[in-house]
Structure 1
Amino acid sequence: MKIISVTGYKKSGKTTLVEQLVRELAKRGSVGTIKHMPGHDLNPDGTDTGKYMNAGAMAVLGVTSYGSAKFIPGTDLKNALDELANSGMDYAVVEGFKDSRLPKIILGDLELPDEVARLDSTLDMADEVLTNLLDIIEQQPEYHTLDSLIAKVRQNPGIREAGAIGSFTGIVREKTGDMVTKSLEFESYNEVAANKISLIETDLKACEGILDVRIHHRVGRIEAGQDILYIVVAASHRQQLFQALSDAIERVKAEVPIWKKEYTTTGEFWVQDHP
């Protein structure tokens, strides 16, 4: 899933731009949106759904003739992005969340990190400007969850020949003997790493009985217990599946140029030689 954030001052034209982007992106794939609405109570106490939440429900769904709404307490931006990714979205357009580290299209003179484009106004925006924004969105890194990768595998037309889908999730190990790890930080040459992962996927899909392989390795700082690596394989038979999963795990570790820095309770260090 490609993600872009549209930010700016109030009444700067954010919603108008989001509408334009969604309209064009919907021609290329499925689009989800997230709107930052601080101070808005979408599920007030007086409603039935509000009463259910107050009674202790951890999730409430309202289903009408026109659509459905899901209410979850304490949802943050990451959870919202995960919801869209797990729903199979190809694109996510986020309005607001100025403090996030998402790639941003900024409207006006607001100064923020992670800027990828800036517009003075959305009024009478030229076609070439919109085309350039769409190109920028396509250049953003993919955002995946385990469920989103499984969903992509299930969409493969060859899934009818599959007898099994298996996955591997690598996480940050907190305790190794007496050492306690707080977090890991991963760096990579993004294009080189992506090409190497693509090569591994292609090689494994050429093996007998392997119908699809999806690999995603997160980079940046990842806290103890959080996910690092996802591998999903669809195969005709379980024996083929287990072998492909094992091969993928070992090849990612051996071949993909990703470097790991470990933060422990006693210090920090690079696990491999860092270029």
Structure 2
Amino acid sequence: MKVICVSGYKNTGKTTLVTRLVEALSEKGSVGTVKIMSHHRFNPTDTDTGKHFDAGADAVAAITDSELVIVKRNPTLDQALDSLADAGMDFAVVEGAKSSSLPKIVLGEAADAEGIVNVVARLPERADWDTDRLVELVLEQEDWVTLGSLIRKIKSNPDIGFSGGIATFTGIVREMTDGTHTQALEFEKYADVAERAMEKICVEMKQREGIIDVLMHHRTGLIKAGEDIVYIVVAAGHRKELFVTLVDALERLKEEVPIWKKELTLDGDFWVHDKSGGE
């Protein structure tokens, strides 16, 4: 899923630009949106769902004839984007989120504000924007990947009817290792080289008898203890070849994909030439 933020100060045309982007991107795939509404509430106290929520429900789902709304406690932008990716969205357009690290189209004077990072376009407010060029920018961004989105993708394979099962592996940041307390790991990779290496592994794994599809993804940046690092998904006709291929794909990922790991511990930080993630 490609993600882009539209940020700017109040009354700069953010919502107008978001709607134009949604219209244009909808011609290329499914689109989800996220609106940052820090001081608003979707389920006021005088509604039934609001009463459910205020009674202590951790999540409230409201269903109408045409809509499904889920209200959850302790929301985060990452959770919102994960839910859109899991739902099969090809694109996500976020209105707001100036302080996030996501790629941003920034309108007006906010483009020069300190603290706004990862700006991919600076535009005048309320202008005749070149939407086609902005769509090209969105397509250039890295994918937002979840395990759910990979499973959905593998299920869309035309040959999935020959599959008797899907197996997945999720590597996470191990917090405790031989008495060492790891707070986080930081991963760096040669983007094109690493992606090509993973694609090569997937292509070669798919040549095996009975294997329908293989997908993998390795996250980069700072990943905290307990969070996901790497996903591998395999679809196969039978469980015997399924689990063997899953293990072999993981071992090849560890050995062949150029990814560097910095370990942040209570005793200090150090780089490790280890491609295995936390598994």
| Short-chain TM bin | over 0.9
Distance in 2, Cα, partners of 1:117 & 1:184: 30
Distance in 2, Cα, partners of 1:73 & 1:269: 36
Match of 2:189 in 1: 188
2:260 counterpart of 1:259 = yes
Deviation at 1:24, TM superposition (A): 1.0
Deviations, residues 207-249 of structure 1 (Å, cap 9, x unaligned): 1111111101000010111110000110001111111101110
Query: 5+ unaligned residues in a row in structure 2: which ranges?
Result: 275-279
Distance in 1, Cα, partners of 2:191 & 2:95: 27
Match of 1:20 in 2: 20
Deviations, residues 29-61 of structure 1 (Å, cap 9, x unaligned): 111000011211111111110111122222111
SS of structure 1 residue aligned to 2:213: strand
SS of structure 1 residue aligned to 2:159: helix
Deviations, residues 14-34 of structure 1 (Å, cap 9, x unaligned): 111111111111111111000
Deviations, residues 188-220 of structure 1 (Å, cap 9, x unaligned): 111111111111111111111111111010000
Match of 1:103 in 2: 103
Distance in 2, Cα, partners of 1:122 & 1:4: 18
| Counterpart AA for 2:122 | R
Which structure 2 residues correspond to residues 71-110 of structure 1 after superposition, within 5 A? Answer: 71-110=71-110
2:118 counterpart of 1:114 = yes
Q: Give the 4+ runs in structure 1 shifted more than 4 A.
A: none
Distance in 1, Cα, partners of 2:120 & 2:216: 26
Distance in 2, Cα, partners of 1:56 & 1:236: 45
Match of 1:139 in 2: 140
TM-score using structure 2 length: 0.94
Deviation at 1:122, TM superposition (A): 4.1
2:66 counterpart of 1:66 = yes
Distance in 2, Cα, partners of 1:45 & 1:108: 36
2:55 counterpart of 1:49 = no
| Counterpart AA for 2:20 | Q
| Counterpart AA for 1:223 | K
2:202 counterpart of 1:198 = no
Structure 1 range deviating more: 97-106 or 62-71: 62-71
Query: 5+ unaligned residues in a row in structure 1: which ranges?
Result: none
Distance in 2, Cα, partners of 1:183 & 1:124: 44
Match of 1:247 in 2: 248
SS of structure 2 residue aligned to 1:157: coil
SS of structure 1 residue aligned to 2:85: helix
2:2 counterpart of 1:2 = yes
Deviations, residues 249-270 of structure 1 (Å, cap 9, x unaligned): 0111111111001011101111
Match of 2:277 in 1: none
Match of 2:39 in 1: 39
Deviation at 1:124, TM superposition (A): 2.5
SS of structure 2 residue aligned to 1:102: coil
Deviation at 1:160, TM superposition (A): 0.6
Report the count of equivalent residues. Answer: 271
Deviations, residues 91-111 of structure 1 (Å, cap 9, x unaligned): 100000111000000011212
Match of 2:168 in 1: 167
Of all paired residues, the percent bearing the same amino acid is 51
Distance in 2, Cα, partners of 1:136 & 1:208: 40
Deviation at 1:121, TM superposition (A): 3.1
